[in-house]
A and B are shown apart, each in its own frame.
Chain A
Amino acid sequence: MRAIYLIARREYLSYVATWGFWLSLLSVPLFMLVGGGLPALIEGSQPTRHYVMVDETGAGYGDALRAAFADAGKSEALSALRAAAEPLGREDRLPAAEAALNAEPGLEGLPEAVEALGLPASSVSIDGTSRFIEVDPPARDAESLRPYLLGEQTIATEEGDQPLFAAIIIRNDSASPVGISIDYWSASLTDTALRNRVQDRLSDILRERRLAEAGVPRDLLNEINAIGINARELNPERTGEAAEVSAAERIPFGVGIAMAFILWTVIFSVVNMLLTAMIEERGNKVLEVLLASARFHEILIGKLMGVAAVSATLLVFWGGLGMLGLVGIQTLLGAADLPVADIVDAVLDPGILLPAFGYFIIGYLMYGAVFLAIGSLCDTLQEAQTLMSPIMLVMFIPLFVVMAALQSPDSTVVQIVSWIPIWTPFVMIARIPSDPPMWELLATTGLMVGFAIVVIALAGVVFRQGALGRANADSVRKLLKLGKKKPA
């Protein structure tokens, strides 16, 4: 025990003292920050585009388009309000919010509408329409507008003098079946959002006008457009009001999947550390010195324990940071009943947390022992990579299965894969929230534990041979060649 403790302690301290450890520690939160913040940053950094609209038809299409844009912004805002209200169970406040939104033209009533939900005004924003602003046209024909579109001349805007982003000219067109066409002038070939929006809305307007001409009353038209069906999701295991499934109930499934990914990331980050350290140790010829003081199994277990402690540190840090992040979001948004409590409950649920811990230990020992054994055979990382290639391929399979498990955790493929011991830790943790049968849980776990014992024992034999220089990467290649059939 003394040797195991001392070897584990030395391993732990040697990792913690490296730059790589601190980079690993900080990389995940940084990655999450960048991953989470980048789309918003890109969206936020889009410049405001100024455009002009000239309606040459005299049929009021321009005005109809302007009204449609305002309505579209409103319906986008309504969707956002609904998305914010539902997880909080504040659907009852939606009519008040909708009324506040409709009380003002365009999106001017949005802050009041958000406040009506009991949220800070800044917590819901609509970006889609705000980056395109219509300005009064400095000219009414394409030729005169050209210098403005090419940036040779500018127009006065709230943001100072700006070039024109686009000019939309709606003109009569006898060749078109609908009698009009849009000429969309713009120097930008890639940003087609405005063109698409104009095209879609004008098509809607033409459709509505045609229906109105055909005698469909305006009210009926609005009624048809507003048709949408509400679906309640109910759980047959419960009765009455309690049968309705809330959004919070789905959180454990998400947590299960997240746990599977975290498990995978942590296990493969740390077993790679084990591999590189083992190669370095083999190169340093330290093992034989250790063997004069400790037995093979003590060195193997000590190394595994030391790196397990490293991964526990990473997990506790990342987990703590995640919890702090959730609490931070809650505090920033000022809402007392965001699903933070549900997420925290799901993460800390012993029904998920304990199996996750167990699967981590077994999965880590299984893969850690294999990587240590590979490391004990190799003098360089290049040599190790040759032996690891097939293992790496095998490692990635559970990721795809876990993604499939998100949609259908009880599909046949997912069930079969749960029985393959090397993938059991990742797939079963993702399945646990969907309550797989207890016998299946116990049997797959038993199989995995048995397999892990065999793998660790075999890894111990390889480690013993590798550590004493009696086997190396070439020995494995020779062994594999022996296994191949010789051509006749």
Chain B
Amino acid sequence: MAETILALEGATKRFGGVPAVRAMDLTVERGTITGFLGPNGAGKTTSLRMSLGIILPDEGRARLFGKAPNARTLDRVGFLPEERGIYKKMVAEDAVTFFGRLKGMPAGKARQRAGEMLERVGLGDARKKKIKEMSKGMAQKVQIAAALVHDPEFIILDEPFSGLDPVNQKVLESMIRAENQAGKTILFSTHVMEHAERLCDRIVLIAKGRKVFDGTVNEALGTVPRRVLIETGEGPDAAPVLAAHGAVTDDGMTGEGTHRYTLDLAPGSDAQDALKALVDAGVRLARFEPVRAHLHEAFVHLVESAEREPA
């Protein structure tokens, strides 16, 4: 059984009596990439802060490497907060070295690693440049270097892709994969579902401070009704035939003279059965297209379901 790196056990946090996170259970296993998803204000940052012991839960507890977060366990963690910040008057190499030393690295080693990390994020030539003289994207890369300078076992990234252009997002994705392949455990929060879909072994979705989903990407996609787009020519009406297989939406006539329907397959129904029923009923098919669900739909579906539930 894989080692649990992080565990939030029934963690609840209230601010001014209002719950920000409610009875949160979250585990991160060694060697995995876990995506922590949720809409704005869902409680992601509060959960991550509790994980690191920056704030203490009102109920429940946080365990980092099996212990309450402390200076030693924190030294094994690299953290990139959502609120990006770094000393603007420092030169990049000094800033990264400083954070390396804060994590317990000897001065010489920290400086050497700072140089390597800046090289890795593409800032090798700017290592002696003051951060205030850098672009926002460059400063963000310095911060990524600072979070990883001490070669942490566990990397927590809060919205790491926000503020980066598509090219640098791709660079960061590669870095995350490389770190994971090197045996590092990664937990990151994001709004961008494409990143989570491409990177994560597992996703945890929260809404209104509560966990609403915890599983693999495929399991998340399984929560969304499978959909088929159908267009028919002249002949028998397809709607009564399709109704036996799920919920049908009549989208009306298309510009090309065909009639369009959307079928959300009922649980247990299969697209092939619906196709067979249409053919048997003599419906003239112009289009029959099963649509692959994306994590975005799963996200919207799960969040909307959670919001419909009473608080």
Q: A and B from one assembly?
A: yes
Q: Which residues of A contact B (CB under 8 A)?
A: 2-3, 6-7, 10, 14, 281, 284-295, 468-470
Query: Are A469 and B83 CB-contacts (below 8 A) given A292-B54, A293-B74, A294-B102?
Result: yes
Output the nearest chain B residue to A296 by Cβ-Cβ distance.
Answer: B54
Q: Secondary structure at chain B's binding surface: helix, strand, loop or mixed?
A: loop
Contacts of B98 in A (CB 8 A): 6, 10
Q: Besides A284-B86, A289-B85, A293-B99, 5 other CB < 8 A contacts?
A: A281-B85, A288-B81, A290-B102, A292-B54, A292-B74
Q: Which residues of B in the span 76-121 have a Cβ within 8 Å of any Cβ on A? A: 77, 79, 81, 83-90, 98-99, 101-104
Task: Decide: B86 and A468 in contact? CB cutoff 8 A.
Answer: no
CA distance A295 to B74 in the complex (A): 10
A289 touches B104 (CB 8 A): no
Complex contact B83–A285 (CB within 8 A): yes
CB distance from B135 to the nearest CB of A (A): 16
Identify which of B49, B84, B88, B103 contacts A293 (C-beta below 8 A).
B103
| A285 with B84, Cβ < 8 A, contacts A291-B54, A293-B74 known | yes
In contact, A289 and B146 (Cβ under 8 angstroms)? yes
Tell me, in angstroms, the Cα distance from A291 to B283 when the chains sit together: 65
Q: Given contacts A6-B98, A6-B101, are A288 and B83 in contact (CB under 8 A)?
A: yes
Contacts of A14 in B (CB 8 A): 87, 89-90
- Measured between beta carbons, the chain B residues less than 8 angstroms from A295 are 53, 71
6 pairs across A/B with beta carbons < 8 Å? A2-B102, A10-B98, A14-B90, A288-B85, A289-B81, A289-B99
Contact, CB under 8 Å: B87 / A2? no
Give the residues in chain A near B147, CB-CB below 8 Å: 292
List the A side residues contacting B87 at CB < 8 Å.
10, 14, 284, 286
Asked whether A470 and B15 contact (CB < 8 A) given A284-B86, A289-B146, A293-B103, the answer is yes
Residue of A nearest to B83 (CB): A285
A286 touches B86 (CB 8 A): yes
Report the minimum CB–CB distance from A234 to chain B (whole Å). 61
Residue B253 is within 8 A (CB to CB) of chain A in the complex? no
CA of A290 to CA of B83 in the docked complex: distance in angstroms? Answer: 12
* Complex Cα spacing A281 to B147, Å: 18
User: Complex formed: what's the CA distance from A10 to B75 in Å?
Assistant: 19
In the complex, whether B207 has a CB less than 8 A from a CB of chain A is no
In the complex, B55 has a CB within 8 A of chain A: yes
- In the complex, how many angstroms separate the beta carbon of A297 from the nearest chain B beta carbon? 12
Q: Chain B nearest CB: distance from A461 CB in Å?
A: 13
In the assembled complex, which residues on chain A have CB atoms less than 8 Å from the CB atom of B55?
468
Distance between B14 CB and nearest chain A CB, rounded to angstroms: 12
- A residues within 8 A CB of B15? 470
Complex Cα–Cα for A288 and B147 (A): 12
**Is there contact, CB below 8 Å, between B81 and A292?**
yes
Closest to B104 in A: A2
CA distance A289 to B147 in the complex (A): 9
Neighbouring B residues of A470 by C-beta, 8 Å: 15
Contacts of A469 in B (CB 8 A): 83
Whole-angstrom CA separation of A7 from B87 in the bound complex: 12
Residues of B within 8 A of A6 (CB): 98, 101-102
- Let me know if B180 is at the binding interface, CB within 8 A: no
A-B complex: 6 closest residue pairs judged by Cβ atoms: A285-B85, A292-B79, A293-B102, A286-B85, A288-B81, A285-B83
B47 at the interface (CB under 8 A from A): no
Interface footprint category on B: 20 to 34
C-alpha gap A295/B83 in the complex (Å):
17
Q: Is B143 an interface residue (CB 8 A)?
A: yes
Which A residues are CB-close (under 8 A) to B265?
A: none
CA separation between A3 and B71, bound complex, in Å? 9
Report the minimal beta-carbon distance from B94 to chain A, rounded to whole angstroms.
9
Shortest Cβ gap from B114 to chain A (Å) = 14
Whether B52 is near chain A, meaning CB under 8 Å from some CB there, is: yes
Q: Specify the chain B residue showing the minimal Cβ separation from A284.
A: B85
Closest A-chain residue to B16, C-beta based? A470
A470: nearest residue on chain B (CB-CB)? Answer: B15
Q: Which among A2, A284, A289, A290 is the interface contact of B88 at CB below 8 angstroms?
A: A284
Fill in one digit per residue for B6-28: 1 if any A CB lies within 8 Å of its CB, else 0. Answer: 00000000010000000000000
Q: Look across to chain A and name the residue whose beta carbon is closest to the beta carbon of B82.
A: A288
Chain B residues within 8 Å of A2, by CB: 102, 104
* List of A residues within 8 angstroms of B79 by Cβ: 289, 292
A469 to B77, CA, bound (A): 23
Choose among A7, A287, A293 the residue that contacts B85 (Cβ–Cβ < 8 A): A287
Residues of B within 8 A of A7 (CB): 102
How far is A293 from B147 in the complex, measured between Cα atoms in Å? 10
Name the residue of chain A whose CB is nearest to the CB of B131.
A284
| With A3-B102, A468-B55: A292-B77 Cβ-Cβ less than 8 Å | yes
Nearest residue (CB) in A for B101 is A6
CB distance from B44 to the nearest CB of A (A): 14
Complex: chain A residue closest to B54, CB-CB: A291
Name B132's closest neighbour in chain A (CB-CB).
A284
Which A residues are CB-close (under 8 A) to B52? 291-292
A437 to chain B, nearest CB (A): 46
CB distance from B160 to the nearest CB of A (A): 13
Chain B contacts for A286, CB-based, 8 A: 85-87
- A467 to chain B minimum Cβ distance, whole angstroms, is 9
A6-B98, A284-B87, A285-B83 known; A468 vs B103 contact (CB < 8 Å): no
A-chain residues with CB within 8 Å of residue B143 when the two chains form the complex: 289
Q: Which residue of A lies closest to B53 (CB)?
A: A295
Report the Cα distance A281→B83, complex, angstroms: 12
Complexed CA–CA distance, A292 and B51 (Å): 10
In the complex, which residue of chain A has the Cβ closest to the Cβ of B81? Answer: A288
8 Å CB contact of A468 from B54, B84, B89, B102: B54
A6 to B98 alpha-carbon distance, docked (Å): 8
Q: Given the complex of chains A and B, what is the CA–CA distance between A290 and B79 in angstroms?
A: 10
Q: Nearest chain B CB to A115's CB is how many angstroms away? A: 59
User: Bound state CA distance, A88 and B86, in angstroms?
Assistant: 60
**Among the interface residues B54, B55, B103, which one has the most CB atoms of the partner chain A within 10 A?**
B54
- In the complex formed, the residue of A with least CB distance to B150 is A293
A89 smallest CB distance to B (angstroms): 56
- The docked-state distance in angstroms from the alpha carbon of A10 to that of B86 is 13
Question: Which residues of B lie under 8 Å from residue A288 when comparing CB positions?
Answer: 54, 81, 83, 85
Nearest B residue to A293, CB-CB? B102
Give the distance to chain B from A327, nearest Cβ to Cβ, in Å: 39
C-alpha gap A84/B171 in the complex (Å): 80
B49–A468 CB distance below 8 A: yes
Q: Which of B52, B53, B101, B146 has the most CB of A within 10 A?
A: B101
Bound CA–CA A470/B85 (angstroms): 17
Residues of chain A lying within 8 A (CB to CB) of residue B88: 284
CB distance from A287 to the nearest CB of B (A): 7
Residues in B whose Cβ lies below 8 Å from that of A287: 85
In the assembled complex, which residues on chain A have CB atoms less than 8 Å from the CB atom of B146? 289
| Docked complex Cα distance between A470 and B15 (Å) | 9
A14 to B74, CA, bound (A): 26
Specify which chain B residues have a CB less than 8 angstroms from the CB of A281 in the assembled complex: 85
How close is A447's CB to chain B, nearest CB, in angstroms?
32
Complex Cα spacing A286 to B86, Å: 5
Scan residues 42-74 of chain B and give those whose CB is less than 8 A from a CB of chain A. 49, 52-55, 71, 74
Nearest to B86 among chain A residues (CB) is A286
